[in-house]
Structure formats: structure tokens, C-alpha cells
Structure 1
Amino acid sequence: MTSPLESPEDLLPSTARALLHRVATAQAEGRSPSLVGAVSREGRLVWSGSRSCVDGHAPDADTQFRVGSITKVFTAVLVMRLRDEGLVDLSDPLEKHLPGTGVGEVTLAQLLGHSAGLGAETPAPWWERTPGSSRPGLSDVLGEEPFVHPAGQVHHYSNPGYTLLGSLVEAVRGVSWEQALRTEVLEPLGLSRTSYQPVAPHAGGWAVHPWADAMMPEPSEDLGLMAPAGQLWSTAADLCRFGWFLAEGDDRVLPAGTVAEMRRPAAPGDPRDREAAYGLGLQIAMGEGGTLFGHTGSLPGFVACLWVSAEQGLSAVAVANATSGPKVGAVAAELLRTVAEAEPRIPRPWRPLPEVDQELLALTGPWYWGTYSYGLRLLPERGVALEPLRGGGRASRFRALPDGGWIGLDGYYQGEPLRVVRREDGSVSHLDLASFAFTREPYGPRDAVPGGVDEGGWRGL
């Protein structure tokens, strides 16, 4: 994880008051026993606030709440670690690593992005409010008819799908999902207040009567096999720290490139909401204020949300101990937006590259695909970016490969190879990008232009 270059200052009093007002309004209007909000910048907690129905007893950013489906993001991180280690491939069918489920034709990528076609819930009874021991096997989680859509054709949120991913982790690692999570993610990232079971201080879960100001305690069940879909307890401070990891990566857990891959849409969201999508374990919201990623969560007695803006270096969390009422997703988004608008991120200082490869430097500047003009510039760690110089076009960044050449990181050329093609004398002929030839001149007569160049050359009317 990249350390902040400079310690962010605390927020201005006017910004802090606006954040507290939003949390107080959400707690009052949502009729939640308590609600905690927090914001971090560049990985450092810069504000937290809370409201409670018990005077003098408000929880803080170190109080645990159950975070429900935010657990899925942690499970996705474990699966991506397996992929990065070469133990699985996201295109692998589940059957390859976890045989005998009856749904083994679905791929790991489809499970991560909720496009495997599996049902949203387990067979009755309601799994969130009953002991996990009542579903001792995966057949009890999936039921007799696990599919509600053809695999790979539609986004359909599936809790059982993440149970399968948790079981996959256990099968490949040879340890429990809980142990893998603790040793591979929680401990390296310093998330000491995130745990399988609650650890004091923690909030109690409540149901608030929909038509009266009355409360009833909710049960807190060990979800058993369903734990990878929603078991975890965490704090606003820990979730903010986790948000920084999702923005920047941490080589002890997942590098920046892999968390960036998780943040890219892998499956469309609700077709009625064109600003929503789903990545590899992450919800994505796209709006005028930029792209947010994170996840919401709920279990009886609790609701939670984590939103992150990589552009602003901000994470925002809202957690409450009520089954329904407070709209924590909107609260977290507004906390983040309030800080971004009132105190926008100060850009990091420009710094030159630590070293410049002269051979790479000679490749920079204009290149032409047909008559389209592009500019090639250097990036850190021998990467390059190819961008149109005028009008619209296909811009992409490329990561250097160990054996030479590059691979596309984003845009149209994501995953496509870029290489330098040289003449017999060693001079550069052109760049080959997914079969497209980029030359130093537009249709130069001696250049390697597919289809050749008209002998008459350029001419007027």
C-alpha cells in the first residue's frame, strides 16, 4: 500500500459540522438506535461522528457493527490472491477446483460479478436469521433448483454464489475461510477490529417498529457456510482503512493493478440504473461527481456502506444498528461528496521519473495509425500511454512485460499486446498494437503500412 506523501490535515470546522449534520439527520430521520459516519483521506481518518438514542453513550469509529455483504469484498480479495498466485484462473469452471456442487460449469469470474445465474437467496428458512448449522452442506445452500437465469447472460445478485467462493478458498488453501482471511488480509492490513464474531465494544442489533417508536433486539447468528457472504463485524475506522487499500493496493495483499481490475465493471447493474455496475466483488456507482466503488451490507439489526473515490483519495463509511430505516448508502456517498466539494484533493507534487531509459525515450512522441495521430509517453516502471492527439480516439495505458513489449491496462486495448517491430538493421519500423501498425509518418511510402501506400503519394485536388 502506498503511504501518504503528506499527512492530511483535519477538516475545516465548517466541513466537520456539515458532516455531523448529515449523520445526525440520518439517525433521526432513519430512526436508528445509533449511527456512525467516518471519512478518511489518503488512508488517514480525518473525521468521524455519531449519534445515539442513548444520551452520552454514542458509539465511535472503533465500535464494531455487523457489516453484512461488505464481507463479500473481503472474499473477493482472497479469490484474487489465488488468481495472482497462479492457483486459479478467473475463467476456470468452479468444478475444476470444487467438484460435486452441481453448478460447476459457472466460472469464478461469473461468481465474483454475480452473473452466474444463481438464485439470490438460499432455500427457506431465511438464512440471515437462522443458524448456519441448519445448512450443513452446499446442497442445502443451493437447493434443488439453484439457477434462475442462464449462466453468463445477466447480472443477478447471489448470496449463495459467494458461499461457493468461500468454499473454493478453503478447498484451494486447505484452511478455513476465516483463517485465510485473518492471515492473508486482516493482519497484513492492520484491520485488528474486523472479526468473525463481535469483539467489545460492539453495537447490538435492533429492529425498529415501522409504525411506532419501539424497538426489538435482533438475533445474531453464526452464518456457517454462508459466512463469506455476510458474516463480518467491523468498525468505521477499519473500513476506511480497507477503502484506502481498495484504492491504492498493498503488495502484501494485492498489488495496485489487481485492485484496479476489481474496480472495473465485470457485469452490468440494474438496467433501470445506468449509473450502476458491478466489478469483481465491488459495487460501482458512476455519476457527475466521479466514480465511487465499494459495497453496501445488511443483516438483521444492521446496515452498512463503504464508498471510495480513488480520484479524491477519500473513503467514507456509514454504519447503523437498525434492520431498516437509515439509508446508509446515500449517507456515505454524501459524506464523501461533502468533503470532495468543500476541500478537494490537493494534487501530489510533480516529480520526474527516477531514471529514464534512453531507448524508451526515443519511442516517445507522435505515431500514426492511418491518418489518426497519437502520442506515446512514458509512465513509471517502464510503462507507456498511447493517447489520441486530437479529437476522439482510443487511449490506453500499458504495463511493461518482463520479456519486452507491453500489455494494455484499460480502454479499448485492455489486455491487448503492444510491441516494437524493428527492421533488419535494428531501427524501429513501427509499433504493432493488436495487429494495428503505428508508424512515424502518416502513410509513409517506406513504412510497413498494411495494404501498401499509393505510389502517387499525397496530392492536392
Structure 2
Amino acid sequence: MTSSFEALLPSTERALTHRIAVAQSEGRSPSFAAGLVREGTMAWFGSRTCVDGHAPDAGTQFRIGSITKVFTAVLVLRLRDEGLLGLDDPLEKHLKGTGVGEVTIAQLLGHTSGLAAETPSPWWERTPGTTRPELADVLGERPAVHPSGRLFHYSNPGYTLLGSLVEALRGVSWEEALRTEILEPLRLGRTTVSPVAPYAGGWAVHPWADVMMPEPSEDLGIMAPAGQLWSTVEDLCRFAAFLAEGDDRVLCRASVEEMRVPSAPPAAGDGEWGYGLGLQVWRSGGRTLIGHTGSLPGFVAGLWVSVEDGLAAVALANATSGPLTSAVAADLVRIVAEAEPRIPAPWRPLPEAEVDKELLALTGPWYWGTYAYGLRIGAGRSVTLEPLRGVGRRATFRALPEGGWIGLDGYYQGETLRVVRRPDGSVSHLDLGSFVFTREPYEQGDAVPGGVDEAGWRGL
């Protein structure tokens, strides 16, 4: 992502400015900063402040709280992609002696480990990390409050364990791994473990009076992977662009997309919320947003990406119970998506080198029983199978080197689609996870499981 602005319409810019002005005023935050990304480029920045002439700029640091967890998750996915761990591995395989080693790495990433939400007292966000120097101090005497793998239960200690896992497998500190593997490649030079001027101070605003007091800013120690980082609107906009597209220097597109897949149903009352592998998933206003929220004493933060719209937004404020930055960031995406909807790329035919006559012959209608489906081909020998009418199971499939295709989404995600041929080489049918798709519905002689009535089709 570049930092040069891709201009929005003046009316859109005014709507964005109005939204953050209302947020800062009604949320009673000393300062507020926000940015909008369109097609990978920062397209707008805005800020408000209670002190004339001292509004934060795009390079002013705020504390981002649990948005830190996304960075930690990326470090863990990198280890998986390098073959150093498996997501289904028990923690004990790589990090010994925690006492909760039976939980898997995927469960820790997706908050389905059953671990407690917080550490034992005192409140870890307002006390120094030296209060709990060891993992045993973070986990306490009763680390699990639910059976592992059964339900979503947000856990800050779980991400402390993941940070320690990174350190165990890399042989360096979590901070060093973060700097060399994510911050430097993505040019996030203003994202740091400790604040570096210029930065906003954290404040508590009195709930019933327009007065405030400073909040403590503690080094969280080994809890850092759960919420330590400071960052800026500009850096987080660049990070949001990475979460939309991936970057092979850090994490490939396929692995970033994997992070977005909900790992468990939302908890009761959470409605349209889900959680993937380090990313929150929110269905809001008819669009799917991926990203994360964050808070620590004195700060609240929100980062949301709408991949379909090519948009992302960041909102940062320096008040403990200040503006709802999560809702503001979502609103910024919505405002631009509605005022300046994404213009689709021109349709273009496939490159000549990708035109495969055998594959072309497979296009058109296929029948699963009497359900009509259509098969179309896309770039890179991919195919899409979708119902021609009514409700059905649609899926896109990626071509496999050894032949056939693997499902990428929907009911058939991970399932294999293959062509079955007759002895003479002609196509008999498609096999999709044992489901047979034929060219005609229940045609005599076709490979229909259970056979076809010899009398064929008939009237009443």
C-alpha cells in the first residue's frame, strides 16, 4: 500500500469527516483519528481533537490493544506454512509444561480452547507484566473454564501461549519475530511495542462530567502478544491492505483467506459475529467485514476490511470508554461503498494459453439426480459448479496438479471433483465426493447409483 491519497468525491469526504466528528464529540474522546483504504491505497485520513491545533496526524501512535492478536496469529500461520507446526498439533508438542498442552494450536487461534478469558487478579491491563512473569502466573490454578473445542470463548491467556509458542520455535523473542517477519517487510515502521513520539496519551473520561484523568500505560510482559502494540492510522491501513490481499513476503493469499474462515459458531447473543484464526468476522449491513477490535485502558481501536468492496477502515481513539471505534470503522466502509461503489474490472476472455478444449467440453448443464447444475470455467483451470435454478450448493474449485479439482468454499470446501471416463475415453460423469453428476437426468446407461427404472420416464 502506498501512502499517496486516491481522491474521494468531496461529498464522500465530508460524510467521512462528519462521522468521525460525531464520534469524537458524542464519544467524548480527547482525540480521534481514522483512515480509509480503497483498492490497497490510503484514500482518506481525518482526525479530531479537543485541543486546538493539536489534532493527530496519520503517523501519531495510539495503543491498539487486541488488534495485536492478528499480528500474533500471522506469526503462527507463518510457522505452519514453513512446516514447523500443524494447526491440529497439541500445544504440548511444541511448548512443554504449560499444564494445558492438550489444546490445539487452531483452538488457541480461534478462541475455542476453553481457556479462561482473563488472567487471575489483579486486572492484567492496568498492572505491570512483572506481576505475572511466568505462564503459570497467566494461567492460574483454573486455566480452563470450558471443554476444549466445544464453543467460542475469547481468551487473552490463549494468545499469551501463542506468543510463547512463537518464541519457542523461532528461538527469538516475540517482539523480534514480529519486527523481522511482519513489520519490516510490510514497512510498518511506526508499529512498536513501546510508544515512540509522537503518540497520544491514554485518558479516562468521567462518565457523568466533562473531566478526565490519565490512564497508566503498562508493559504487559509475556502478555504482550495479546494486546501490547502501539500503531498509527497509516501503518494499520497498510496492514489492512495486507489482510485483504496477502503478501508472499509475509503470508500468502491462501493463508490470509484461511484466517477469515469462522472456526466456531458465535456465542449466544453474538448475532452476526464469528472468529477465524486470529480475525474477527462480522456480518454488518449486508457485507462481510474481517479484522479486529482492540482496547486497553485509555484507548479503543477498530480495523475492518471488506474484501468484496475493496475497502478497509481504521479508527483510533484515546479514551477508555470512548467512541465505539468498531462501529465507526464499519460505518466508514459503508459510507464509501454506498457513495462510490466499486467499479468492476472489464470482462476479458481467457488468455489463449489457458484455453483447454477438453475442459471446455465439460462446461454446461449437469444433473445430480434431477437437480440441474451448470459448470463454467475460470482462470487457472478453475471451475464453478452452481445450481441453474432454486437453492442449491454452489462452489468454486481449484485445479489440482494430479488432475481433478479441490473445493474452495461452501458445502464442497475441501471435497474433490473429478471426471470419470468410460473405457473408450469418453466422459461418463463427474464425481463430487461420491455424488454423481450426469449429462442427462437419470439417463439409461448412465452411472447412476441404484440404477434407473427400465421403463424410463412416464406420465401419470
TM-score greater than 0.5 by the shorter chain:
yes
In the other structure, the counterpart of 1:427 is 426
Distance in 1 of aligned mates of 2:387 and 2:287: 22
Q: SS state of the match for residue 184, structure 2? A: helix
Deviation at 1:205, TM superposition (A): 1.3
Structure 1 unmatched runs, 5+: none
Match of 1:295, as an amino acid? H
Is the Cα–Cα contact under 8 Å of residues 40 and 241 in structure 2 kept in the other structure? yes
What per-residue deviation string (whole Å, max 9, x for no partner) do you get for residues 348-401 of structure 1?
222222322222222222111111111111122222111111111000111222
Whether 1:293 and 2:290 are equivalent positions in the alignment is yes
Q: 2:323 aligns with which of 322, 326, 329?
A: 326
Deviation at 1:286, TM superposition (A): 0.9
In the other structure, the counterpart of 1:392 is 391
Whether 1:403 and 2:408 are equivalent positions in the alignment is no
Is the Cα–Cα contact under 8 Å of residues 289 and 337 in structure 1 kept in the other structure? no
Distance in 2 of aligned mates of 1:132 and 1:65: 20
Match of 1:374, as an amino acid? Y
Is the Cα–Cα contact under 8 Å of residues 262 and 276 in structure 2 kept in the other structure? yes
Q: 1:16 aligns with which of 13, 17, 20?
A: 13
In the other structure, the counterpart of 1:177 is 174
Whether 1:154 and 2:147 are equivalent positions in the alignment is no
Distance in 2 of aligned mates of 1:32 and 1:316: 19
In the other structure, the counterpart of 2:228 is 231
Match of 1:46, as an amino acid? A
Distance in 1 of aligned mates of 2:76 and 2:25: 39
**Superposition pairs of residues 62-101 of structure 1, within 5 angstroms:** 62-101=59-98
Distance in 2 of aligned mates of 1:267 and 1:310: 21
In the other structure, the counterpart of 2:344 is 347
Distance in 2 of aligned mates of 1:87 and 1:438: 40
Match of 1:94, as an amino acid? L
Distance in 2 of aligned mates of 1:352 and 1:245: 28
In the other structure, the counterpart of 2:240 is 243
Deviation larger for 283-292 or 98-107 = 283-292
Deviation larger for 291-300 or 397-406 = 397-406
In the other structure, the counterpart of 2:188 is 191
Distance in 2 of aligned mates of 1:295 and 1:15: 25
Is the Cα–Cα contact under 8 Å of residues 5 and 42 in structure 2 kept in the other structure? no
Cα RMSD after superposing both structures: 1.6
In the other structure, the counterpart of 1:105 is 102
Deviation at 1:211, TM superposition (A): 2.4
In the other structure, the counterpart of 1:456 is 455
Is the Cα–Cα contact under 8 Å of residues 207 and 322 in structure 1 kept in the other structure? yes
Match of 2:51, as an amino acid? V
Distance change in 2, residues 1:254/1:379 (3 Å): farther
**Superposition pairs of residues 23-172 of structure 1, within 5 angstroms:** 23-172=20-169
What per-residue deviation string (whole Å, max 9, x for no partner) do you get for residues 159-204 of structure 1?
0001111111122222221122222222222222212222222111
In the other structure, the counterpart of 2:262 is 265
In the other structure, the counterpart of 1:256 is 253
In the other structure, the counterpart of 1:357 is 356
Q: 1:203 aligns with which of 200, 204, 209?
A: 200
Distance in 2 of aligned mates of 1:291 and 1:427: 43
> Runs of at least 4 residues of structure 1 off by over 6 A?
none
Is the Cα–Cα contact under 8 Å of residues 6 and 41 in structure 2 kept in the other structure? no
Structure 2 unmatched runs, 5+: none
Is the Cα–Cα contact under 8 Å of residues 5 and 44 in structure 2 kept in the other structure? no
What per-residue deviation string (whole Å, max 9, x for no partner) do you get for residues 38-68 of structure 1?
1110111111111111100100111111100
Deviation larger for 150-159 or 280-289 = 280-289
Deviation at 1:339, TM superposition (A): 1.0
Q: SS state of the match for residue 425, structure 1? A: coil
Deviation at 1:450, TM superposition (A): 1.0
Deviation at 1:298, TM superposition (A): 0.6
Deviation at 1:8, TM superposition (A): 8.1
Match of 1:12, as an amino acid? L
Match of 1:430, as an amino acid? H
Deviation at 1:9, TM superposition (A): 4.1
Deviation larger for 449-458 or 349-358 = 349-358
Deviation at 1:73, TM superposition (A): 0.8
Distance in 1 of aligned mates of 2:438 and 2:205: 67
In the other structure, the counterpart of 2:306 is 309
Is the Cα–Cα contact under 8 Å of residues 70 and 230 in structure 1 kept in the other structure? yes
In the other structure, the counterpart of 2:365 is 366
Q: 1:215 aligns with which of 212, 217, 238?
A: 212
Distance in 1 of aligned mates of 2:190 and 2:54: 20
Is the Cα–Cα contact under 8 Å of residues 365 and 372 in structure 2 kept in the other structure? yes
Q: SS state of the match for residue 268, structure 1? A: coil
Deviation larger for 301-310 or 280-289 = 280-289
What per-residue deviation string (whole Å, max 9, x for no partner) do you get for residues 238-280 of structure 1?
1122112112222222222222221121122232132111111
Q: Paired residues, what number?
A: 457
Is the Cα–Cα contact under 8 Å of residues 8 and 41 in structure 1 kept in the other structure? no
Distance in 2 of aligned mates of 1:54 and 1:452: 79
Q: SS state of the match for residue 358, structure 2? A: helix
Deviation larger for 440-449 or 297-306 = 440-449
Is the Cα–Cα contact under 8 Å of residues 292 and 309 in structure 1 kept in the other structure? yes
Distance change in 2, residues 1:8/1:365 (3 Å): farther
In the other structure, the counterpart of 1:446 is 445
Is the Cα–Cα contact under 8 Å of residues 385 and 396 in structure 1 kept in the other structure? yes
What per-residue deviation string (whole Å, max 9, x for no partner) do you get for residues 50-97 of structure 1?
111110010011111110000111111111222222222221111111
Distance in 2 of aligned mates of 1:187 and 1:376: 44
